[in-house]
């Protein structure tokens, strides 16, 4: 399936030998506008429910950034709190779809990751990054905070490392991400990334499905209240994005 408008980005799904590859793309460094977020969440849910899928691979287009996070063009266009909340709920729906999928998700990270994209990495069951795939939470630099993606990142790396990422907005290199379990594995380049992802996804697709589901349930235990939590966090971000401080910060950031 694909979204038709290039300005909204694209999502494609391919299934081969029990492994579904879900690829998203956007011309602006694989940013995530609202339409793309909705399509991505629905694609993950629908693909995970297929009888012929036993593992999923999440990846993005091109050889540049894995994901630039929220669409700044869409952020500056938000005019009221309800619209703001709905935009940030897009990230919540993708995270909930990923952790709730009945099959494991292996994410291939071929380049830098910013903002909401870090939430996608953290919501993966197994993420593999290349050595150049640095990450940062840039939200504070534009006058908001990583409130919606925060719970899944904190769940993955702990409150201390999450707090550091949130408050200084500096780039963390792939080695840091591996030490703090954002990446399960770091490889030197994209060729090695493709090979490592294929091996891991194939092994998971061939494993006992009941055992894999059990492991996934254990990994995400304690997240049952997240639908309500992320709804509250989306409302927080939706209000913040309307402030004069945030609008000025986003304008400076874009410039």
Per-residue pLDDT of the chain in tens (255 residues, 90 and over written 9): 443 344 789 999 999 999 999 999 999 999 999 999 999 999 999 999 999 999 999 999 999 999 999 998 898 889 999 999 999 999 999 999 999 999 999 999 999 999 999 999 999 999 999 999 999 999 998 899 999 999 999 999 999 999 999 999 899 999 999 999 999 999 999 999 999 999 999 999 999 999 999 999 999 999 999 999 999 999 999 999 999 999 888 888 777
Complete edge-to-edge strand list for the sheet that includes strand 105-109: 10-16, 19-25, 55-60, 105-109, 126-130, 185-187
Cα 215 to Cα 213: distance, rounded to the nearest angstrom: 5
Closest CA to 55 of 97, 18, 22, 12: 18
* Structural domains of the chain, ranges and CATH numbers in brackets: 6-209 (3.90.226.10)
Half-sphere exposure of 112 (CA within 13 A, CB side): 14
Contact 11, 59 (CB under 8 A): no
pTM: 0.95
């Amino acid at each position: 399936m694909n979204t038709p408008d290039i300005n909204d980005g694209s999502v494609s799904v391919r299934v081969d030998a029990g492994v579904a590859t879900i690829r998203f793309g956007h011309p602006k460094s694989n940013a995530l506008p609202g339409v793309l977020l909705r399509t991505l969440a629905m694609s993950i849910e629908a693909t995970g429910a297929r009888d012929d899928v036993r593992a999923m691979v999440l990846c993005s287009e091109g050889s540049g950034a894995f994901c630039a996070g929220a669409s700044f063009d869409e952020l500056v266009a938000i005019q009221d709190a309800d619209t703001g909340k709905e935009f940030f709920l897009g990230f919540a729906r993708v995270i909930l779809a990923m952790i709730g999928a009945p099959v494991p998700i292996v994410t291939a990270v071929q380049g830098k990751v910013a903002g909401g994209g870090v939430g996608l990495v953290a919501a993966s069951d197994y993420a593999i990054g290349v050595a150049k795939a640095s990450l940062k939470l840039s939200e504070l630099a534009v006058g908001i905070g990583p409130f919606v993606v925060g719970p899944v990142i904190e769940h993955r790396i702990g409150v201390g490392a999450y707090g550091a990422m949130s408050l200084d907005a500096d780039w963390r290199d792939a080695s840091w991400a591996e030490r703090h379990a954002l990446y399960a594995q770091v490889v030197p380049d994209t060729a090695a990334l493709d090979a490592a992802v294929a091996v891991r996804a194939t092994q998971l697709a061939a494993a006992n499905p009941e055992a894999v589901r059990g492991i996934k349930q254990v990994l995400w235990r304690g997240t049952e209240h997240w639908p309500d939590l992320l709804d509250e966090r989306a409302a927080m971000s939706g209000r913040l994005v309307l402030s004069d401080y945030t609008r000025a910060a986003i304008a400076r950031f874009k410039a």
